[in-house]
Structure 1
Amino acid sequence: MESYRPVSLRDSSKVTLAGAAQVVVGTSAPIREVERALGWLAAAEVNLLLQGEPGSGKRVLAEAIHLQSPRGSGQFYAVSLANRTDSQIEGELFAAPGEGLLGDARGATLYLEEVGCLPMRLQRRFVRLLRADPSRRNVRIIASSTSELEEAVRLGRFLPELYAHLGLIRLTLPPLRERREDIVALTEYFVRRYCERAGNGAIRVSRSALAELTTYAWPGNARELQQTLEAALALTRTGELTGERIRTVLGRRPRRHVAPDVFPLRTLERDYIATVLTRCNWNQSLAARRLGIGRNTLMRKIKSFKLEKSEAA
C-alpha cells in the first residue's frame, strides 16, 4: 500500500510561496477575489472545501493557506483519494497506531484531494470521528474536489453531514478559459521561473506565441499552461519563444490551416534530439545515453532528420 508522507513546508517555504504566487497571478476579477480571500482563509482555522477543474490550483492554494495560517510552522499532510482502494484509504485515514492520519496530523493541516471519491462506508466513519471529539484531534481539514459535491449530495453519493463538516467555507477556483486576461501574466511568470531554475538568460515570448496561448482552450488549466511552456522552452535554442514552437508542443496546425510538412510529433522528436546534441556539444555517445537510445539509432535519426552541427548550435 502506498502510504502518505507529511510535507514540511518549513524546509520548502520558498518553493511553496512561489507556488502560491501562481494562484494569484493575474488581474481578472476572479483571481483578485482569491487574492483578497487568501489572508482570512488562512486565519479562519476552520475546515475548507476547494472546488475546481483539474489543474486550476487547488493543491497550490491549500499549501498557501496552510503556510500563512497559525499552523504554518507545522506539517502539511496531503493524500489523494482518487484511484485508491477502500482498504488503502481506510488504512491511511483511520488505522492505528495514532488512528491514522486523523490522529497523526494533530496540530497540522490535512489536505484531502478528491474527497468525493471517499466510499460511503468511510464517509460515515469519518462523520462519526468528527462528531466524537473534534477538539481533541485539532486537525484542520482542507478538502478538494473536481466535481460538484452539492450535486453528489443531491444524488445520494455524498453524505450531507460530511459535506456540512468539510464545506463550512467553500471556494471555487475558476478555469483558465474564464479568465483569459490572466494568460499573459501567467506566461510571463512561468517563463521567468523556468529561466531562473535553468540558469538561462531571459527568453522573450513572441506575439505569435502569445496569440497561440491566448486562443487555446486550456482544458488542463494553469497546470497544462505551465507544462506546455516548460516543454516549449526546453526545445527553444534561441532567445525567443515562437508561436510555431507552441503549436508543435500542443500538436496544433498553423493558423492558415495548411497541414505542416512534418507531423508535429516528429517535429518534436527532431527538435528535442537537436537540443540534447547541442547540450552534449555533439558528443553522440553522451547524447545517446541521455536520450536512452543506442548510438547507432541516434546516428540514423540524425541522418533521417538531416541534422547538422551548425543547425543545432
Structure 2
Amino acid sequence: MYLLETHNQKMKKIYELVKKVAPSSSTVLILGESGTGKEVLAKYIHFCSKRKGPFVPINCAAIPEELLEAELFGYEKGAFTGAIKSKPGKFEKAHKGTIFLDEIGDLSPKLQAKLLRVIQEKQVERLGSDKAIKVEVRILAATNKDLEKEVQQGRFREDLFFRLNVIPIKLPPLRERKEDIPILAQFFLKKICEREGIEEKKLTSQAMEALINYPWPGNIRELENLIERLVILSENNTIDVKDLSLPSFDLKFKIKESLAEDKDMLLKYALPEISEDGIELNKLLKDIEVYYLKKALEISKGVKTKAAKLLGLNRTTFIEKLKKYNLV
C-alpha cells in the first residue's frame, strides 16, 4: 500500500508525521471533513506498522447504539434475544492488530464510558459475561467533528478525548489542496478504467481547470464518484468540461467561459458603466490595483518576490506600489 504523491505543503508535513508515527503503538486521532481520506490514512498507518494482527474498521455513526455495543465488545450466547451463539467483538478481532473507530464523535455517553474503560484496562467484557478478556490493540480514531468543542459543550468525555488525542492528524479539505486535484483525478481515471476493462480516458485542460476550481463539498470521495460516473457514462475517450455536470457550478463556468472569449463583454460585466455624471477613472484604477496587490500577497502568503512575479512586476516596483497605497 502507498500514499499518492502530493504537491500540497500541508499533506507533505502529514506524510512526514505518518512515517514517524506508523511504527509506534501510539493512539492516533485523525480529524477532517467527510470524504477527506481518513480511513485510507488509517489503513496506511496500520500497513506501515509492525503489528501482525488485522486492521479492523467500524463506523460508530452507522450502527444503532444497542447493536454497536455488541459489535465493539462482543456477546455471549443468550445475552439478548437472537444471540443464539457467542460472538467476539471488534476489539477481540483486532487483537495484536489495529482497530479503526471511524466517526468516534458520534459515540453515546454510555459507550464513551465503556470505551474509556477498555483503553485504560486493556481488556473487554462481552455482553452477558463478567469475564475479562485481555486485548492488545492499537487504536486509530477519526471524526469530522470538532472534539474540543464537543468536550466544552458536554457531549464528549474530556478524559476519553485526552486518551484519544495522543497524536492528532488533521487532514485538509480538497478545496485547500487544489494542486493535488490533477494527481487524484488521473489516479481515479486509471484505476476505474482498469477495473472496468475500459481504454483509459483523458480529461481536457478545460475539464481539469473546472475540477480544480470546483469547491468539492464532498471532498475526495465526491471527486472519485464523479470520475467513476464520467468513465461509465462518457461515450468518448476524451472528457470535456461539458461532460462534468458539477452541481451549482455549470452555469458559473459557462458564463466565465463565454466571457473569456469576448474581452469587451468581460469588462462590461466586471466594471461599472459610465453614467451621465461621469466616472472617477483614477479612483477606479487605484481600487483595481490595490485589489490585485492584496490578492497577490494573499496567494504568495506574503512572499513579495513571488507576489511581484504573479503580477508581472519586478520586486522593486511591487514594493513601491505597496508603499504608495500604504499596504506595508
TM-score, length-scaled by structure 2: 0.67
Instruction: Pick the aligned partner of 2:20 from 13, 36, 40.
Output: 40
Q: Which residue of 2 aligns with 1:305?
A: none
C-alpha distance in structure 2 between counterparts of 1:100 and 1:111, whole Å: 13
Q: Which residue of 2 aligns with 1:230?
A: 228
Structure 1 residue 213, shift from structure 2 partner = 0.5
Amino acid at match of 2:194: E
Amino acid at match of 2:68: I
- CA 133–182 in structure 1, closer or farther in 2 if over 3 Å, else same: closer
Amino acid at match of 1:39: K
Which consecutive segments of 4 or more residues in structure 1 shift more than 6 A? 248-251
Larger Rg: 2
Question: More deviation in 170-179 or 89-98?
Answer: 89-98
- Is 1:74 matched with 2:53? yes
Q: Which residue of 2 aligns with 1:153?
A: 151
- Is 1:163 matched with 2:152? no
Over the matched positions of the two proteins, sequence identity in percent amounts to: 30
1:1-313 equivalent positions in 2, closer than 5 A: 17=1, 20-21=2-3, 24-71=4-51, 73-97=52-76, 100-133=89-122, 136-247=134-245, 252-253=250-251, 255-257=253-255
Kept in 1, the 8 Å contact 2:122–2:136? The answer is no
Amino acid at match of 1:126: L
Deviation string for 1:63-101 (max 9, x for gaps)?
111111112x43111111114322111111223357632
Structure 1 residue 254, shift from structure 2 partner = 6.4
C-alpha distance in structure 2 between counterparts of 1:164 and 1:81, whole Å: 19
Structure 1 residue 235, shift from structure 2 partner = 1.8
C-alpha distance in structure 1 between counterparts of 2:246 and 2:217, whole Å: 17
Q: Aligned with 1:255: secondary structure?
A: helix
Structure 1 residue 105, shift from structure 2 partner = 2.0
TM-score, length-scaled by structure 1: 0.70
Question: More deviation in 98-107 or 228-237?
Answer: 98-107
Kept in 2, the 8 Å contact 1:112–1:144? The answer is yes
For the aligned residue pairs, the C-alpha RMSD in angstroms reads: 2.2
Kept in 1, the 8 Å contact 2:98–2:140? The answer is yes
Kept in 2, the 8 Å contact 1:25–1:31? The answer is no
Q: Aligned with 1:43: secondary structure?
A: coil
Q: How many residues align?
A: 237
Structure 1 residue 141, shift from structure 2 partner = 0.8
Deviation string for 1:3-34 (max 9, x for gaps)?
xxxxxxxxxxxxxx2xx43xx43201011112
Structure 1 residue 249, shift from structure 2 partner = 7.5
Structure 2 stretches lacking a partner, 5+ long? 77-86, 124-132, 257-328
Amino acid at match of 1:34: I
C-alpha distance in structure 1 between counterparts of 2:23 and 2:157, whole Å: 27
Structure 1 residue 216, shift from structure 2 partner = 0.6
Deviation string for 1:17-63 (max 9, x for gaps)?
2xx43xx4320101111222222221121111101000000011111
Q: Aligned with 2:244: secondary structure?
A: helix
Kept in 1, the 8 Å contact 2:32–2:144? The answer is yes
C-alpha distance in structure 1 between counterparts of 2:214 and 2:247, whole Å: 12
Structure 1 residue 121, shift from structure 2 partner = 1.4
C-alpha distance in structure 1 between counterparts of 2:7 and 2:249, whole Å: 29
Structure 1 residue 133, shift from structure 2 partner = 3.8
C-alpha distance in structure 2 between counterparts of 1:133 and 1:53, whole Å: 30
Structure 1 residue 201, shift from structure 2 partner = 2.5
Q: Aligned with 2:50: secondary structure?
A: coil
- CA 192–99 in structure 1, closer or farther in 2 if over 3 Å, else same: closer
C-alpha distance in structure 1 between counterparts of 2:72 and 2:246, whole Å: 43
Structure 1 stretches lacking a partner, 5+ long? 1-16, 259-313
Question: More deviation in 32-41 or 204-213?
Answer: 32-41
Question: More deviation in 241-250 or 149-158?
Answer: 241-250
Kept in 1, the 8 Å contact 2:103–2:144? The answer is yes
Deviation string for 1:221-272 (max 9, x for gaps)?
11111111110121222221110101368772363349xxxxxxxxxxxxxx
Structure that is richer in helix per residue: 1
C-alpha distance in structure 2 between counterparts of 1:68 and 1:254, whole Å: 44
Q: Aligned with 2:116: secondary structure?
A: helix
